[in-house]
């Protein structure tokens, strides 16, 4: 088998219900790139201490499964990167639908010299208040040059240079990683590429399950900064399948 040029890394905690819905979109995007480029990729699902059939279902759907027993989104991504063989790394959450051209566009950006980048998310929650909150965070992201961890990508060399994700951060580990990746790109002359003409589509399960006020509380920048490294502070957030 040809060694992969690209590794897709998916952290997953109790995602048995969602993987059959979203993982096929990842494989479809990967196959579209493979057909166009003649190169090969791999999909790695990191089973992050799941108590359901996440690992079994991921294997049945065609993914390579590795296990990370310590609950940490950053650590799970780092574990996937350590097991990956690709020269490019493409991180995406387990409840995210990729556009068909997503991986092709990400690889094209890296081949053109970008050290990494992201495809921004498009959330479509049912409640009006939740839609406003989602719109605010998208505006904040675009103004401040950040990128959420629902999808981020980078070269393996860049990932190693910035030492991956912080495993001790239980929130905002994605924004912190992207800030370091951006700084690395500035130092080395390789930009980050946020692909604004595309969108990944995450599930809205937390927006649908929690009130807008509760989401605003937990996504408030002041609250987030209070307990970045505290698993106890974020225990309610991590108790669900999202983290």
Task: Check residue 5 and report its DSSP letter.
Answer: S
- Could you tell me if residue 117 is left (phi over 0), alpha (psi between -120 and 50 degrees) or otherwise beta? left
DSSP-based three-state secondary structure for 137: helix
**Domains in the chain and their CATH numbers?**
6-238 (3.90.550.10)
User: Which pLDDT score, from 0 to 100, does residue 235 have?
Assistant: 66
What does the alpha-carbon distance between residue 15 and residue 145 come to, in Å, rounded to a whole number? 30
Give residue for tokens 């692909």.
195
73-88: pLDDT as tens digits: 999 999 999 999 999 9
Number of alpha carbons in the 13 Å side-chain half-sphere of residue 164:
17
What does the alpha-carbon distance between residue 126 and residue 132 come to, in Å, rounded to a whole number? 11
What does the alpha-carbon distance between residue 240 and residue 49 come to, in Å, rounded to a whole number? 12
In the sheet with 192-194, reading across from the earlier edge strand, the strands are 64-67, 41-47, 6-12, 88-92, 151-155, 116-118, 192-194
188-237: pLDDT as tens digits: 999 999 999 999 998 877 767 767 666 665 666 666 666 676 777 666 66
pTM of this prediction?
0.87
Cβ burial, residue 180 (10 Å; 0-12/13-18/19+):
middle
Residue 243 has pLDDT above 60, yes or no: no
What does the alpha-carbon distance between residue 117 and residue 148 come to, in Å, rounded to a whole number? 10
User: Which pLDDT score, from 0 to 100, does residue 138 have?
Assistant: 63
Residue 242 has pLDDT above 60, yes or no: no
Question: Of 112-116, 134-138, 225-229, 238-242, which has the strongest mean pLDDT?
Answer: 112-116
What does the alpha-carbon distance between residue 48 and residue 79 come to, in Å, rounded to a whole number? 10
């Amino acid at each position: 088998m040809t060694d992969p040029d690209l590794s897709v890394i998916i952290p997953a905690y109790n995602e048995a219900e969602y993987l059959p819905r979203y993982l096929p979109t990842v494989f479809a995007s990967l196959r579209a790139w493979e057909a166009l480029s003649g190169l090969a990729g791999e999909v790695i699902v990191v089973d992050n201490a799941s108590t359901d059939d996440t690992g079994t279902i991921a294997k049945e759907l065609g993914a390579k499964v590795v296990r990370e027993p310590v609950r940490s989104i950053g650590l799970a991504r780092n574990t996937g990167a350590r097991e990956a063989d690709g020269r490019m790394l493409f991180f995406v959450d387990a409840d995210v639908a990729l556009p068909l051209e997503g991986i092709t566009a990400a690889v094209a950006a890296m081949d053109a010299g970008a050290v990494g980048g992201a495809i921004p998310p498009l959330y479509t929650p049912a409640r009006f208040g939740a839609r406003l909150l989602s719109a605010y965070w998208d505006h904040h992201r675009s103004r401040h040059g950040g990128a959420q961890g629902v999808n981020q990508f980078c070269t393996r060399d860049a990932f190693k240079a910035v030492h991956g994700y912080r495993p001790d951060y239980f929130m905002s580990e994605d924004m912190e990683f992207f800030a370091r990746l951006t700084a690395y790109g500035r130092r080395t002359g390789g930009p980050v590429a946020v692909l604004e003409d595309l969108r990944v589509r995450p599930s809205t399960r937390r927006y649908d399950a929690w009130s807008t006020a509760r989401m605003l509380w937990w996504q408030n920048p002041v609250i987030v900064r209070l307990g970045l490294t505290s698993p106890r502070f974020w225990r309610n957030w991590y108790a669900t399948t999202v983290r």
